[in-house]
Each structure stands twice: as structure tokens, then as C-alpha cells.
Chains A and B, each alone.
Chain A
Amino acid sequence: MSHHDHNDDYHVRPHISSTKQNLAVLFGLFILTGLTVGAYRIHLGDANLAVAVIIATVKASLVCYYFMHLKYEKAFNTLFFLGSLLFLLIFLGYTANDTEYRADVDPDWGARVDRRRGDPAAGTGAAFLEGEFSPIPTLQEGESGE
């Protein structure tokens, strides 16, 4: 059992963080904040978001692990909390799986959809809906129908 500080089943025997440790964590958080601002100032372009997420996650982990005492928390509580992050990722993953691929050619209909609205894309949709085109994939060179 990770909750080793409970050495009897009556009193609450917490782990008490030392001031020194809390200060060290705060110092680390300061450094990482400087790092994330620095990464922004040198203009990383496409890597901007990924670097920001990685640094923020390291900072968040420090806060959770030391300030929120996840290091000494009961495994069940930790599981509970981290479980909510799993559901956030499912929420994000499934939504992105829809919206990020809307511009691709639908292999069954050969039509493009507007990735922002989900409507038939401009220039192909109207004629297609009026039945002037048969629903057979008409791929351009270099496109994949998969």
C-alpha cells in the first residue's frame, strides 16, 4: 500500500512536505516558466504547440506530484484523478478524428466535405447533390481514396 504513512488505522499520519522541498519545486516551476516563455520568444513555428504542451505537462506533474501530494496519495485517489485526464484525451481524440479528416475524399461518394462545417465542399457539393455526378470516386492524381 502506497499510503505507508498511516501506521495505525485510527490517526491520520500524513507525509509533511519540508519547506526546502516546496521551495525546490517552486524554483523548478520558475525555471520551466522561463523556458516556456523563451521557447515562444525564439519562434519555434510548428513546434510551438508541442513544446508548450510538453513544458506545461512537466510543470503540472511537479504541482500534482509534490504540491498536491500525489506522491503520497492513496493509489485509488490518484487513479481517480488521472482517469479524468484519460477521458479528456478520449474526448479530444474522437472529436479530432471527425473534424480533422473532413476535407478528405469520402471513398464511398467521391465527394469532399467542407472541414469546417461538414457540408459538401464548395464547387463539388452542389452539382453532386443535384445528381449530375454519379457517386463513383473521382480521385485526382496523387490522392488516396483510402
Chain B
Amino acid sequence: MATDAHHGPEFLAHHFDRPVQQFDAAKLGMWTFLAQEILFFSGIFVAYLLFRSWYPEAWSLGSRLLDWRMGTINTFVLLISSFTAAQAVATAQRGERNKTTVYLAITLICAGIFMVVKYFEYSHKFHVGLLPGSLFNPTEEGWAEIAAAAANSHGMESAPAGTYANHVRSYIGLYFMATGLHGIHVLIGMGVITWVMIRNIKGEFTSEFWTPVDLVALYWHLVDLIWIYLFPFMYLID
């Protein structure tokens, strides 16, 4: 049980009595952080729902400026990465170090694919000037896209272009804030997963101690949770 005359196993920090106490403290800390993340994103979701109820026609139009196929691909990619993150935890708990490394690597690859798809979506928006706030300055191609989306939308089929520009700008602004904030979370997640994967390769984790794998997976699942809502909210408006 105790590998040290003074204290328990090597992974047990000196201010904890027992591994289970250290583990419970870490888990409570992580859940507190995740609760904070929900509140952090809540401003985006409340703004989204209020603006959607105020400008349903602009939201219907704005959603058609996005490609639902891209969003669907990214949803599947993130779901797979959540599965591999869960598998990384299970294998770490069984002490299957190499499998944990593989699952963490697949999670990283999925995160990379997600960001590449996002890059293509963003770069097109940059190209046609569909940008948030004061940067909103559609090119001719951008206005043509807005007109095509309007013709296909509910409530703005016959509206002249100038009348809906401001509300489309609100939608684009929220799209960039929501998916941008989420994208930053994906990038941070990739960094932390890489760090945990390196520690795993170095052999820091055993079937007795795998808390960092567990915590990074929890964070990654939260990133997935946010996207589960962002996807239909942004891409799938009737």
C-alpha cells in the first residue's frame, strides 16, 4: 500500500491523506470548472435565443449562409472524439497504457479535422466579407449569397437587400462569437490532450493513478456538449 515510510504512493500529493481523497478533490474541482464553463457560454446561448425570437426571419436567412453538411461532418467528428476520449479513460483505468495513447491520439486527430473544416468555413466567410460587427462588409459575392439565402428563407423571400443587412449582421456576429469561443476551447483541448498524452507515454499513469486522463476527457466531453447545441442552433434553422 504505502511505498514510502512517510506517505503513500508517489502520485499522492503530500497535502492529501489518501488517494481517494486526492481523487475526489480533483473531480470536484473539475466539475466546478465545468459548471463555470456552462455559465461562461450561457451569455452566448441567451443572446442567441433572444435575438432569434426577435429576428426569426434574419435567423432563418443567416442559417442558410452556412453549409449544414459541414456542420454535420463536424458533429460526427466531435462525437467520435468524445467516444475515443471515453475509451482513453477506460483503458487508462485498466492500465493499458499503449491503448490510452492511441485513443488520445485519435481524439487529437478528430479535433484537428474539426478545426480544418472550421478553417474552410471561416476562410470563405472572410473572403466574402461576412464578418462580425463593424467588420461586416460583404463583397458583391457576399451580397449575392445573402440574396440567395433570403430567397430560400422564411420571412425574407421578397425583402430588399438593405432592409435585412443589420439583422443578418447580428446573426453573423453571434455565429462568429459562438463558434469562435467554441473553437478556442477545441484548440485549448488539443493542447491539454497533447500534454496528457505525453505524460502517458512517459509512463506517469497506472491503473492506480489516471486522474489527469479522466479530467481532460471531462473537459473534452463538455466541448462536445456545447457543440451538440451549437450545431442545430446555427446550421439547422428552418
Contact = CB atoms under 8 A, between A and B. Distances in A.
A88 B45 contact: yes
Q: Closest 8 interchain pairs by CB? A: A84-B35, A52-B232, A40-B236, A48-B238, A84-B38, A26-B83, A67-B86, A88-B42
Contact of B228 (A40, A59, A99, A115): A59
Contact of A22 (B68, B72, B83): B83
Given A39-B236, A84-B35, 18 more contacts: A10-B18, A12-B208, A22-B90, A25-B86, A33-B75, A40-B236, A55-B232, A60-B229, A64-B225, A67-B85, A67-B217, A67-B221, A68-B221, A83-B35, A88-B38, A95-B46, A95-B50, A99-B54
Interface string B86-101: 1101100110000000
A101 to B, nearest CB: 12
9 contacts: A19-B87, A25-B83, A33-B79, A43-B238, A44-B238, A56-B229, A67-B224, A87-B39, A95-B50
B50 A74 contact: no
A100 B228 contact: no
A1 interface: no
Nearest to A115: B54
A74 to B, nearest CB: 7
B31 A22 contact: no
A18 interface: yes
Contacts of A29: 79, 82
B125 interface: no
A3 to B, nearest CB: 9
A92 interface: yes
A71 interface: no
Interface string A89-133: 001100110011000000000000001100000000000000000
Contacts, number: 145
Contact of B218 (A40, A44, A68, A96): A68
Nearest to B83: A26
Given A16-B90, A67-B86, A116 B54 contact: yes
B237 interface: yes
A91 B75 CA distance: 27
Interface string A53-70: 101100110011011100
Nearest to A95: B46
B53 interface: yes
Contacts of B86: 17, 22, 25, 66-67
Contacts of B237: 48-49
A35 to B, nearest CB: 11
Interface stretch (B21-29, B111-119, B128-136, B188-196): B21-29
A16 B93 contact: yes
B23 A40 contact: no
B76 A33 contact: yes
B106 interface: no
A6 B75 CA distance: 35
A115 B50 CA distance: 11
A68 B37 CA distance: 15
A76 B24 CA distance: 11
A92 B228 CA distance: 19
Interface string A11-48: 11010111100110110011001001101100111001
A100 B38 CA distance: 24
Contacts of A116: 54
A12 B93 CA distance: 10
